[in-house]
Amino acid sequence: MVSLAQVLIFSAEFGSFVAIAAISFSIVYRVVGMINFAHGEWLTMGAYIGVLTVQALGGNALLALPVVVLLSGVGGYGLARGFYRPLRRSGAGPIMLMLGSIAVGYILRAGFRIVFSSEPKTVVIPTDVYRFDVLGGFFVNTTQLFVIGMAVIVFTVVHLMFKRTNVGIAMRATGSDEDLAEVCGIDTSHIRRNTWLSMSGLAGLAGFLIGVSTNVYPLLGYQYLLLLIAAAILGGIGSAYGAIAGAYVIGLAVTFTTSYLPTAVSTLGTAVAFVLLILVLLVRPSGIADVEAAT
Partner 1 sequence: MSYLSDTVDQSEWLQRVLSPVPVSVGLIVFGVALLSAQVGIGYPNFMIAALDLAVLGLTYGLVVLGLNLQVGHTGLINFGPHLYYAIGAYTTAMVASESTIAGVALGLPVPVGVVLGVVLSMVAGLFIGATSLQLRTDYLAIVTLASAEIMVRVINGIQFVFGGQTGILNVPQPIHEAAVNYKSELLVTLLILGGVLLLAYAAVDRLTSSPYGRVLRAIRADEEAAQSLGKAVPRYKLWVFIYGSALMGLAGTIVPLYNGSMAPTFTTIQMTVTVWIGMLVGGAANNRAVIGGIGIIIGLRLVTRYLQQYSPVGGGVFAPLRLVLIGAVLWAVIYYRPQGIWGDPDKLGEVFTRK
**CA-CA distances (angstroms) from residue 45 to 49, 101, 155, 182, 266?**
6, 15, 22, 33, 30
Span interacting with partner 1, options 44-52, 86-94, 121-129, 164-172, rule CB under 8 A:
86-94
In one-letter notation, the amino acid at residue 290 is: D
Regarding 262 and contact with partner 1 (CB under 8 A), the answer is no
Judged by CB under 8 A, the number of residues near partner 1 is: 47
What's the rounded Cα separation, in Å, for the pair 248 and 260?
A: 18
Nearer to partner 1, 144 or 174 (CB): 174
Contact 198, 31 (CB under 8 A): no
Nearer to partner 1, 38 or 209 (CB): 38
- Which of 3, 122, 156, 266 touches partner 1 by CB under 8 A? 266
Neighbours of 211 (CB within 10 A): 27
Burial of 233 (0-12, 13-18, 19+ CB in 10 A): buried
For the CB of residue 214, give the shortest distance to partner 1 in the complex, in Å: 20
Q: Under rule CB under 8 A, which residues in 209-228 are in contact with partner 1?
A: 226
- Which of 52, 59, 111, 188 touches partner 1 by CB under 8 A? 111
In one-letter notation, the amino acid at residue 44 is: T
Nearer to partner 1, 268 or 294 (CB): 268
Nearer to partner 1, 49 or 108 (CB): 108
- Which of 67, 70, 92, 294 touches partner 1 by CB under 8 A? 92
Contact 221, 42 (CB under 8 A): yes
- At residue 288's C-alpha, the angle toward residues 199 and 46, to 5°, is 20
Nearer to partner 1, 1 or 95 (CB): 95
What's the rounded Cα separation, in Å, for the pair 155 and 241?
A: 8
- Residues forming contacts to partner 1 in the complex (CB under 8 A) are 35, 83, 86-88, 90-96, 99-100, 102-107, 109-111, 113-114, 117-118, 226, 229-230, 233, 237, 264-268, 270-271, 274-275, 277-278, 281-282, 285-286
